[in-house]
Amino acid sequence: MSTYKFVKSTGKRIKKRGLVFLMAITIIFILGVMGYFIYTNNFTKSHTLIPPTDNSISNTVKIPTWKTFVSKYGKYSIKYPADWKVVSPSNVDPAEIDLPVFVSNENFQNGEIYVHIGISSNPYGPNSKEPSSFINKDDKFSPYFTIDPKDLILNKTSIKLDSKDAVGFDYFQSGYSGGGRWQYVVVSDSNNIRYTISYEEQWKSDEFATPKYWKTKQVFDEMLSTFKFAK
């Protein structure tokens, strides 16, 4: 075989190998994209609950009467529907603890979906009893809970809470019992206090509505508009 023929033959083999390699990369890329969409579709299906029935909460804001809750511990106030309850563990005064919970008036025991709103206020200043290492002081929009790598944070946006900067986002907590839960979370920071506000809708069966089927988010937004930091 002459040198010319050898070089020509070798060049063809190299070109052919390069084409095969390029085709393999293309196929891997296509499979990767398909795998991502299949995973996303399956995840959505496995974590999307059946839409609430007619006895669920209406998505129309009709609040004739409001009450005002004042937190001595967290140094803030907020209005809430008068027929809701503010609860705390062990019958402690909700105004004196770091996490009062606002609960709507649906009949939870009969299987109706109900709203659960928690407002966590956690001081972290030099005179605070809270361990400073638990709060990320460098990121004032970091919530006061641990985010697992398997959790999801979606639709994160900048908002205002009593004219102060805050963030809001949809949050899926993968490790929660019953297959996980969806929440809407708001995080803000004022006077060395980290505020983490969570909103969720739940059934007695320990199932949680996804953001697509939230029915009372408007009421929550109305409540947030009344939130005031203590002067």
Provide the pLDDT for residue 196. Answer: 96
In tens, the pLDDT along 113-133 reads 789 999 999 988 776 665 555
pTM for the full model? 0.71
The rounded distance, in Å, linking the Cα atoms of 145 and 183 is: 13
Residue 58 lies in a domain: no
Quote the number of domains for the chain. 2
| Chain position carrying tokens 């009372």 | 216
Phi (first) and psi of residue 64, to 5 degrees: -70, -30
The reply to whether 158 and 218 lie within a common domain is yes
86 shares its domain with 12 = no
Structural Rg of the chain based on CA atoms: 26
Domain, as residue range, for 134: 66-229
CB 167 within 8 A of CB 141: yes
pLDDT at 136 exceeding the cut of 80: no
**β-bridge partners, 201:** 115
**Residue 56 forms part of a structural domain:** no
CATH of the domain at 195: 3.40.1000.10
**Please, are residues 144 and 220 in contact by the beta-carbon 8 Å criterion?**
no
Burial of 220 (C-beta count, 10 Å sphere; 0-12/13-18/19+): buried
Structural element, H or E, at residue 6? helix 3-46
Question: Tell me: the pLDDT tens digits for 185-223?
Answer: 999 999 889 999 999 998 766 688 889 889 889 999 999
Short-list 24, 3, 77, 42, CA closest to 225: 77
Q: For residue 8, what are its two tokens?
A: 């020509």
Specify the residue for token string 């083999």: 13
Asked whether the predicted pLDDT for residue 45 surpasses 70, the reply is no
